Amino acid sequence: MTIDPAAESAALDAYSAVVTSVAAQLTPKVAALRILSRRGESAGSAVVLTGESHLITNAHVVGDAGEGTAEFADGTIARFEVVGRDPLSDLAIVRADRAVPPPPEYGDASSLLVGSLVVAVGNPLGLSGTVTAGVVSALGRSMPVRTRTAARLIEDVIQTDAALNPGNSGGALADSRGRVVGINTAVAGVGLGMAVPINATTHRIIYALMHDGRVRRAYLGLVSTPARLTPAQADRYGQRGGLRVVEVVEDSPAATSGLRAGDLVLAIDGAPLGDAQSLQKRLFAEAIGQRMEVTVIRNGALVDAVVLPTELPD
């Protein structure tokens, strides 16, 4: 196959134009954070979130600290206070003590496709305003997080080959139009980076952090993994996937209800579950103490269990 040099040059020019445009939009809106806590000094990145000087970053960036400093590309240095943090989504909200650049446009990670161009902006290794570009390597990844009292999977994590290094955490992952679609959170290995997606669940978490300083969640005591139904089951029940119960925590609401490891969860209160996010979206504060009817396939038969979620401790 012969590649036309002119076409190749035009493609590269178009790629460069996209990356430089996104960089110009986002670099002023991503701050370098400096945090001093009981564990010592740490650094990371944050993205302007609101016109009221809120910024979004990772929970692991701020750790247990209550304040720090944010420096912007124009030289502005602001002190910030931590408004709220949620280790189980690895997100945190901070608020600067002065005016900051206006927020960027936020998009929806569900619009991404494998192969989509993405641009990461952050402060890796203390080098502020660094821009890297790549593609979405995979979608729908899960990333485990753990606190002293709970463990959870962050669902629909974006995997990218855009170069990420320590200090990128909390920075922006943007699509080709400059819309922030993820918050960079982890380096998974050589050439692999992860970002928490901006989606409907994230927006609920952000709202709770800004208004309550924490995220209250309902607790079932299930460890599950996405599973495909057989063709016969898919035809019979009208859905292609569910959640396979891997473990039921002893003395949990799920255990009390009679749910078992091996059950295939199809629906809650009649609403089909296709992935772990569809379950986790139902486990916010309003579900605590509220009756849930869980429909599962067990040994080829449909079984309904009634669960009363408790509150997940911090």
Count of CA atoms in the C-beta half-sphere (13 A) of 281: 17
- Is 314 a known active-site residue? no
CB 309 within 8 A of CB 289: yes
The pair of three-digit structure tokens given for residue 173, joined into one six-digit string: 């992952």
Pair 90, 215: CB distance under 8 Å: no
- Cα(249)–Cα(285) distance, integer angstroms: 20
Is position 97 annotated as part of the catalytic site?
no
Considering the candidates 45, 60, 86, 156, report the single residue annotated as catalytic: 60
Name every residue whose Cβ is closer than 8 Å to that of residue 141 and which is 6 or more positions away in sequence: 156, 157, 158, 159, 194
53, 169, 224, 278: the active-site residue: 169
Query: In 127-161, which positions are buried (b, 16+ CB within 10 angstroms) versus exposed (e)?
Result: ebbbbbbbebbebebebebeeeeeebbbbbbbbbb
**Options 86, 90, 175, 275, the catalytic residue:** 90
Residue 228's CB is within 10 A of a number of other CB atoms, namely 13
Our answer to whether residue 60 is catalytic in this structure is yes
Query: Could you identify the residue written with the tokens 């076409």?
Result: 7
Q: Which active-site residues does the annotation give? A: 60, 90, 169
